[in-house]
Amino acid sequence: MPIIPDYDLQAHNTLAIAATAKYFVEVHDNDELAAALSFANKGKLPLLILGGGSNLVLADDFPGLAIQIKHSGIDVIEEDEEHVYLQVGAGENWHDLVCHCLNFHYWGLENLSLIPGNVGAAPIQNIGAYGVELKDVFLELQAMEVNSRVLVNFEKQACQFAYRDSVFKGRLRDRYVITQVTLKLKKSPEVQINYPALMQALSDRNASDITPQVVAKTVCEIRRSKLPDPAEIPNAGSFFKNPIVPDETFVNLQSRFPGIVGYPAGENKTKLAAGWLIDQAGLKGYTQGSVAVHTQQALVLTHTGEGDGRALIALADHIKSQVFDRYQVDLEMEPRIYP
Ligand code: FAD
Ligand code: EPU
């Protein structure tokens, strides 16, 4: 398990930002992880836990230890009449897992097709797309506490999942490394097609033709039509969360901006489509040197690969202030900024 000094992280983040970690190590199991955490602890080094690097912004060099989680394995640990319980190593690629489940007819992940990144990061922001969130298929996870190196299990309730949120982004931020996730998947297909873009794409199909495979394929097609492939155009997906506002605020905004897009978000709240707000503020395609607002989806910021994280954050700040001036709505960044 070599610990490499002065390691370039450009290939380890989908924004392709060149930044150096003081140290870098790959860990394949819990013993290696414990040894890496112990190294960081002795040297009082800050930690950067890395999956696929698709939801972070490297604003500068990282003055600590970057640990790439490589734990592998996809195992059925239990089955009953209706469900199969699948234990998955944190280093497995998320979309490969979705394809594996489609092949084995374990249902529930179809709408989450093609989300970049690894399984261990999925609970951090409770990944979601096309009407399904990780919490809908989640049973429990195993994580290592960074100071004691003790393994702890977290059941669903303890994870405090919410829209793009979990306890690991809040109270327990930086306290645990997720090593394994257990999912509870269905043996009989139950397709979820209420998300507007998905429903529309499937509108000319008979209900009986809409299998989980069809849903997965359609989700992939929709995603490819608007989201840039990080291998071709570096990006980190949505750069901002969709803001949740009181219904009253939404009604006021609607009177000023009749086309505004919002979805019910429970308890007299509406979730606004941040992409619409940015788009209608005239910022789609807006470019500042090496960084830009994506031309197909204004919620995605792109990078040529030649700039740096600070340029991206400057662009994000510009968008936030333009959106606030126009709608009096605050945008919150989705990816985490390091260091
Ligand atoms: P990383 O970027 O490596 O890490 C993200 C955060 O999680 C970091 O703070 C990191 O320290 C922490 N972390 C990672 N692994 C662990 C671990 N094992 N233990 C503890 N902490 C850990 N997200 C959605 O929810 N829905 C989408 O539809 C979606 N679409 C996207 C489309 C594109 C083109 C891109 C580039 C991104 C998209 N994302 C989406 C965001 C991203 O794919 C998810 O957040 C994903 O879960 C990040 O996984 P990762 O392995 O790349 O995490
Ligand atoms: N819209 C515009 N202009 C734009 C972008 C969007 O008008 O430039 C409008 C669309 O027409 C639509 C609405 O905004 O009416 C919502 O757009 P879309 O369906 O593309 O979804 P989104 O709200 O922009 C969210 C997630 C995505 C996820 C999709 C599908 C967040 C922050 N983003 O995007 O997740 O894939 O829904 O569920 O919640 C990510 O987190 O990185 C991500 C890509």
Q: Give the burial string for 274-311 (b: 16+ CB within 10 Å, else e).
A: bbbbbbbbebbebeeebbbbbeebbbbbbbeeebbbeb
257 CA distance to ligand 1 middle (Å): 33
Return the structure tokens found at 330: 């605050």
For residues 182 and 85, is the Cβ–Cβ distance under 8 A?
yes
Q: What is the pLDDT of residue 109?
A: 98
Three-class secondary structure of residue 92 per DSSP: coil
Q: Is 302 helix (H, G, I), strand (E, B) or coil?
A: strand
pTM for the model stands at 0.98
Q: Are strands 62-69 and 47-50 parallel, antiparallel or unpaired?
A: parallel
User: How far is residue 60's CA from residue 134's CA, in Å, rounded to a whole number?
Assistant: 31
Q: Which residue among the candidates 54, 92, 140, 164 is catalytic per the annotation?
A: 164
Is 13 near ligand 1, meaning CB less than 6 Å away? no
Given the CA of residue 226, which atom of ligand 2 is nearest to it? 20
Q: What is the DSSP letter of 242?
A: P
- Percentage of the chain beyond pLDDT 70 is 100
Separation CA 334–CA 124 (nearest Å): 11
**Each residue of 237-279: pLDDT tens digit?**
999 999 999 999 999 999 999 999 999 999 999 999 999 999 9
State whether the beta carbon of 165 lies less than 6 angstroms from ligand 2. no
Q: Is 334 in the pocket of ligand 2 (CB under 6 A)?
A: yes
- Which ligand is closest to the CA of 231, given by its number? 1
pLDDT for 82 = 97
Q: Does 129 contact ligand 2 (Cβ within 6 A)?
A: yes
**Which pLDDT belongs to residue 293?**
98
Which atom number of ligand 2 is nearest to the Cα of residue 242?
32
Could you identify the atom of ligand 1 that is nearest to the CA of residue 236?
Answer: 36
Ligand 2 near 299 CB (within 6 A)? yes
Q: Whose CA is nearest to atom 5 of ligand 1?
A: 55
Is 151 in contact with 71 (CB distance < 8 Å)?
no
| Per-residue pLDDT at 89 | 99
Among the listed residues 238, 248, 255, 256, the single catalytic one is 238
State residue 257's pLDDT score.
98
The pLDDT value recorded for residue 287 is 97
* Residue with CA closest to ligand 1 atom 45: 55
Is 164 one of the annotated active-site residues of the chain? yes
Any catalytic annotation for residue 238? Answer: yes
Phi and psi torsions of 95, nearest 5°: -70, -35
| pLDDT score recorded for residue 240 | 98
Q: Which two tokens stand for residue 101?
A: 């489940």
Among candidates 81, 80, 73, 121, which has minimal Cα distance to 97? 73
Q: Which parts of the chain have pLDDT scores under 50?
A: none
At residue 192, the pLDDT reads 97
Q: Copy the structure tokens of residue 331.
A: 């945008």
- Going by their DSSP bridges, the two strands 128-129 and 132-133 should be labelled as antiparallel
pLDDT at 113: 98
